[in-house]
A and B are shown apart, each in its own frame.
Chain A
Amino acid sequence: MMVSRFRRAWAVETARMVRSGFAWTVAAVPALMMGLVPVIRPVIRDGRGDYDFIATAMTATVCTPGFLLLLVWMAVWTASDLADGTARSLLIRPIRRSDYLLAKYAAGLMLGTVMSGLALVTAWLMMWMLGDTTGVAYGGEVVFTSDQLVVSGLLAFVATVFALWAGCAVAVLAGVLTRHPGPAAVLTLLMWLTLELVKYPMGIDRWVFTTSLETAWQGFGDLCRGMDAPLGRTVVRAVVTALPVIVICPAVAVAVFHQRDLTP
């Protein structure tokens, strides 16, 4: 019954998300921005593998603009429901507040995954159509085969997705705390900016989930240049730094939301 209620709420939130123009924008913008990446890192058929184009493209599209768009969307969507009464109209149905909020978060996770997946597929297609998909070779010796790079690319993708999910969790919490779209977006961006500004000076970057957005594709880029990069460890670190945020932020959001009076 509990699962069934969550499933119902999730179906509703997903249907709402699919009909949201803002959600489509979030999903499409990084993929559309791929068109500009060849300006920074040209992709041409010259007999050399172009996998590092993917590393550049993912960093330039998903890891900052896409991530921030996703965060703002998640925070605004959550807060708008509380501000305009939509949450009230849904919560008079037999679903728990936690079902509703976690369903919304789950829809955000889907959007984050789709956004980065779409960007990755677009980057891969561009490389495949315009450049070379041969492995990384130095002095005639193949250092990494094409298959190895595909696996490494997927590992970097997993690390990225975990960081996006953690970002969504922070945004949901900001949405619940502020209850208004503007302040929710501002709070989310401020939290991100503060983390980015303090994590290196304070030496806590290893423990901050946003660092995975940089290290995952940096590592993949290193592989593309023939260097060894511990991508497996990067993924583990991404999971370890993101998981507490993925668990704690929605849990706090649910706890706060449970205490709230949903008045008009």
Chain B
Amino acid sequence: MVSMDVCVQVEQLRKRYGRTEALRGIDFEVRRGEILGLLGPNGAGKSTTLGILCGLVRPTAGRVSVFGLDLSRHRLAILERTGTLLERPSFPTRLTVRRLARLHARLKGLGSESAEQALRRAGLMDWVAVPAGRLSLGLRQRLGLALAILGEPELLILDEPTSGLDVESAGMVLDFLRQLARENGVTILFSSHHMGEVERLCDRVAIIRQGVIVSVADTAGLLAWNLGELEVFTDRPEEAAALARTLAGTERAEVEPSGLVRVVLGEGGTSHGLTRSLVEAGFEVRAVIPARRSLETHFREVIGT
């Protein structure tokens, strides 16, 4: 039984390409209104998963339900309410941006005004008369995004949405997606290689490795401040680290190449006690801040690299 709060439910999904097992029974869910990032190294199974979700790839086994509907039986009804951006989208080269948007709107049973609205939202009004084949990679990606948001879908499936975009355009896309999720309640499932993007955008992150989901976690929880690990900025890092090692509440103290001293506190160790000891020993303590775990750290731990 799929909960009303769940938009996408994937159960024991398997996919085999000949002898290669791309997905080995993955399970995850995307809750309504949330942004779930699917992270994983190349060949982990991200695109296969998204391909199955939009009906382009046939699963070998398992069950996918979207909006409470079984994908294998209600694909078209699901696609009516879903917008998809494929990795490296390809369009008929001779059709203009406007014509293409209108044709895609038509395929969804929408009028030309929906096409215009989507192009406007994606910032493509200056290129409406340009044939799709002449667009740069970044503009093509934006066109793909415009086509994905046609008809205000309830679910967006995005495979590498910022691929090929410069930093500024990628930032705009991320802001746009966040706005869609927050203001319109759109559920977003997207894959990316960029940890920063996932950190910035996603409510939760699922990590996939060799066809298996190895971790699903709240992004906020992953990135929580770690009060047991401190980053100390001081005038004499090597000596400060040596002193820290002698203190009772310190488990480990190391100087990083950037010059900061990373101190891992042990039992009884506090930020206040460490700072006081350093100041009393004559160090100029410029800052002591709790370390923050990055998604990259978590990813490396989970993937094992």
Which residues of chain B are near A201, meaning CB under 8 Å? none
Give per-residue flags for B46-75: 1 if the beta carbon is below 8 A from chain A beta carbons, else 0. 011001001111100000000000000000
The answer to whether A262 touches B106 (Cβ under 8 A) is no
With A15-B103, A263-B51 already in contact, the answer to whether A93 and B108 are too (CB < 8 A) is yes
A89-B77 Cα distance, complex, nearest whole Å:
17
Residue-wise, chain A 89-101 has the 8 Å CB interface mask toward B (1 for contact) of: 1111111100000
Q: Are A86 and B92 in contact (CB under 8 A)?
A: yes
Segment touching A, from B33-41, B82-90, B222-230: B82-90
Q: Residue B127 at the A interface, CB < 8 A?
A: no
- In the complex, which of the residues A4, A88, A94, A261 contacts B86, with contact meaning CB atoms closer than 8 Å? A88
Q: Does A199 have its Cβ within 8 Å of any Cβ on chain B?
A: no
A91 with B95: in contact, given A12-B107, A261-B17 (CB under 8 Å)? no
Using A8-B106, A12-B106 as known contacts, say yes or no to A262 and B79 having CB atoms under 8 A apart. Answer: no
Contact, CB under 8 Å: B76 / A95: yes
Neighbouring A residues of B104 by C-beta, 8 Å: 90, 93
Q: Is the CB of A91 within 8 A of B86?
A: no
Contacts of B107 in A (CB 8 A): 8-9, 12, 90, 93-95
Q: Does B28 contact A (CB under 8 A)?
A: no
| Chain A residues with a Cβ closer than 8 Å to the other chain, count | 28
Answer whether A12 and B103 are a contact pair too, CB < 8 Å, given A88-B86, A89-B86: yes
Q: Say yes or no: is A84 at the interface (Cβ < 8 Å to chain B).
A: yes
B58 near A259 (CB under 8 angstroms)? yes
B57 touches A262 (CB 8 A): yes
Encoded as 1 (CB less than 8 Å from any B CB) or 0, chain A from 1 to 44 comes to: 00011001101100110011100000000000000000000000
B56 and A261 form a contact (CB under 8 A) = yes
Q: Is A47 in the interface zone, CB < 8 Å from B? A: no
B99 touches A15 (CB 8 A): yes
Tell me if A's interface is mostly helix, strand, loop or mixed: helix
Q: Does B91 contact A (CB under 8 A)?
A: yes
Chain A contacts for B108, CB-based, 8 A: 93-94
CB of B91 within 8 A of CB of A89, answer: yes
Complex partner residue of B56 from A15, A16, A95, A263, CB under 8 angstroms: A263
Determine the chain A residues whose CB is within 8 A of the CB of B77 once the complex forms.
Answer: 94
Listed by A's residue number, 22 A-B pairs whose Cβ atoms lie within 8 Å are A9-B107, A11-B103, A16-B103, A19-B95, A19-B99, A20-B94, A21-B94, A84-B90, A85-B86, A86-B90, A88-B86, A88-B90, A90-B104, A90-B107, A92-B79, A94-B108, A259-B58, A261-B58, A263-B48, A263-B56, A263-B57, A264-B86
Given A92-B86, A94-B77, list of 6 further CB < 8 A pairs?
A8-B109, A16-B94, A19-B99, A90-B107, A91-B55, A263-B48
Residue numbers of B with Cβ under 8 A of A are 17, 47-48, 51, 54-58, 76-77, 79-80, 84, 86-92, 94-95, 99, 103-104, 106-109, 144, 147
